[in-house]
Chain A
């Protein structure tokens, strides 16, 4: 009976697998192939040029800038937004007057797309009349070129993106906190542990799965940063806020260098793949334990 119906799961999977192949696997392979060509994106023909794109890529100062900016995003997302999200979650997990309203406000940025968030921050960061510089002017400070000063611009972008990313981390931790059994915390309390001790020795270890997910997702999100960069600066001024995805877009679609753009995409894919494998292995391990 069992062996007769071996094809049933495959029949159910056929449609999603076909779609996955068409929209993910095949383009992925095509990108890989294109990264070894000099295709300009419009000509009917192209030549295979071996590793030339990759050799040039690692001597390209603008690619190095973009890669470094991705590292900044990574540190900002994993090192700053995750702890802040945790802090907010612990705070909002308490029952106090209006805690539901606060929670809702904190959720709200989650519902906005990065394009909308970019537009909002454009108004905040505008150099002459923007909200942030107007506020600084009240204290006799500024103006700061939030989006035009090459040494500041990437941090402005990370700040804008964090607005959404923090609430994302918060949601993950709030869900995690719901799973912490109250008995454990109460037992610790009875044993005389103070609030700090209860948090670090009881609650935090219980949050470990949520933490791993929040950190890995943040890392993957930081590596695929694109939309907010595109909306706010397009990677400028002169590539100072460029990230890999953005540089790939400029090269492939603006400069008509599809081959070179594909090699950037390939490098980005390989870096991201490392984190994805780590994440999936972790999730699978958890499932096996359950």
Chain B
């Protein structure tokens, strides 16, 4: 008996020592994605018992500031969640990330859309593994729309009418929570793409077009039409995005410009009453463009277990893992062999396939510092629309300093 116990003890110790530690830091802190990611990690553990996987989950906003510290330290985590585009490039260009070209033996395009490659690369090397992507749209409460006999607006004029009807009925036409700023950037992106088109928006985020340009001013004219009439939720700076989403779920508010992940926080009872429509068309001569952010994973250059990290990323890239994540959360898988998981996602995918081009999102497309200054100005504009001149001239000063 004693011997048997001893043998078991020795085996356990041997296994623990031989098991390779794999540390994953994740920002998936909302209950739904957190659960699905934990299940994915369990599947990985079953497939690769030799790894001792540790997942640390951080609140989204804290993660954004902590990542810098981890990447700079010598004891970095092995895998981190992050965003494609400029936000990844900021770290890649400073040599803080590990290139992952070798985890795509048949090449990136074999499993992923060619359009994702540039958002995942820097200087010809791939640093980012796309896991899922989603679309932005104007989410609305179908019960509220039915009750007031509203139909989905297609043009800007129709959109303003819908807002007015909602307001007259005592509803909040558009809910938004700007405590963490980025929700306001969705409005800027869409208005700029609808008013000035994709090339213009791209040049603006690249820091080429001045913020005092006439085109930018026109964007704020349209935005001002909504702000001045009081169509946005009052005191929106007090709320985070989830708080503001509650007003949509309870039917106090009619609409919310948001990404598909709003479904993650919708209570079961109202999930089916929440649908979306394409952001209204402002100028029929300009193409239809959308925001489609890509989320995924990176390996820090200072990771201890890079081989293990690559095995994990290969698992995440696999069709099965991508399909599981997308299906459970209703997102679109980055792996192009995975079909849209449900009717809602199909509708989203069709909207994107029917568009003329896509961006990521303001804070993923432009320099982080510019994004911080820009988003603060957007929120200030929503509260004080008459400050637009000062705000834009301040932003222009920041643009010149940052992009010089």
Contacts and interface: CB of A to CB of B under 8 A. Distances in A.
Interface string B34-67: 0000000000000000000000000000001100
Interface string B60-104: 000011001101100000000000000000110011100000000
A150 B387 CA distance: 14
A148 interface: yes
Interface string B220-243: 000000000000001111100000
A127 B236 CA distance: 9
A250 B380 contact: no
Contact of B379 (A42, A236, A256, A257): A236
A254 B181 CA distance: 13
B64 to A, nearest CB: 7
Contact of B95 (A44, A148, A239, A256): A44
Given A42-B71, A42-B91, A254-B64, A238 B372 contact: no
Contact of B380 (A41, A126, A143, A238): A238
User: Interface extent on A, as a size class?
Assistant: 20 to 34
A257 B373 CA distance: 13
B47 to A, nearest CB: 34
Contacts of A234: 179-180
Nearest to A41: B68
A94 interface: no
Interface in A118-160: 125-128, 143, 145-150
B376 interface: yes
B179 A145 contact: no
Interface size class of B (residues with CB under 8 A): 20 to 34
Given A61-B394, A254-B372, A255-B368, A42 B96 contact: yes
Contacts of A44: 94-95
Contacts of A41: 68, 72
B366 interface: no
Given A42-B94, A42-B96, A253 B68 contact: yes
Contacts of A125: 238
A40 B95 CA distance: 13
A43 interface: yes
A221 to B, nearest CB: 24
Contacts of A181: none
Nearest to A122: B238
A79 interface: no
B335 interface: no
Interface string B377-404: 1011001000000000010000000000
A27 interface: no
A237 B68 contact: no
Contact of B237 (A43, A126, A236, A254): A236
Contacts of B181: 236
B68 A150 contact: no
B85 to A, nearest CB: 16
B178 interface: yes
Interface in A58-95: 61
A237 B65 contact: no
Q: Is the interface of A mostly helix, strand, loop or mixed?
A: loop
Contacts of B379: 236-238
Contacts of A256: 68, 90, 368-369
A239 B108 CA distance: 43
Nearest to A260: B369
Contacts of A253: 65, 68-69
Interface string A227-251: 0000001101111000000000010
A204 to B, nearest CB: 42
Contacts of A40: 94
Contacts of A146: 238
Contact of B94 (A43, A145, A150, A239): A43
Given A41-B68, A41-B72, A256-B68, A237 B369 contact: no
Contact of B234 (A127, A150, A236, A239): A127
B91 A237 contact: no
Given A237-B379, A254-B372, A256-B90, A42 B234 contact: no
Nearest to B371: A255
Interface in A241-290: 250, 253-257
A238 B68 CA distance: 23
A43 B380 CA distance: 32
Nearest to B179: A236
A143 B379 CA distance: 20
Given A44-B95, A61-B394, A255-B369, A127 B376 contact: no
Contacts of A61: 394
B369 A257 contact: yes
A237 B178 contact: yes
A148 to B, nearest CB: 4
Interface string A25-54: 000000000000000111110000000000
A234 B65 CA distance: 13
Contacts of A254: 64-65, 368, 372
A256 B181 CA distance: 17
Contacts of B96: 42
A41 to B, nearest CB: 6
Interface of B: 64-65, 68-69, 71-72, 90-91, 94-96, 178-181, 234-238, 368-369, 372, 376-377, 379-380, 383, 394
26 contacts: A41-B68, A42-B71, A42-B72, A42-B94, A128-B235, A143-B234, A145-B237, A147-B238, A148-B236, A148-B238, A149-B235, A233-B179, A234-B180, A236-B179, A236-B181, A236-B237, A236-B376, A237-B178, A237-B237, A238-B380, A239-B376, A253-B68, A254-B368, A255-B369, A256-B90, A257-B369
Interface of A: 40-44, 61, 125-128, 143, 145-150, 233-234, 236-239, 250, 253-257
Top-3 shortest CB links A-B: A237-B237, A148-B235, A238-B380
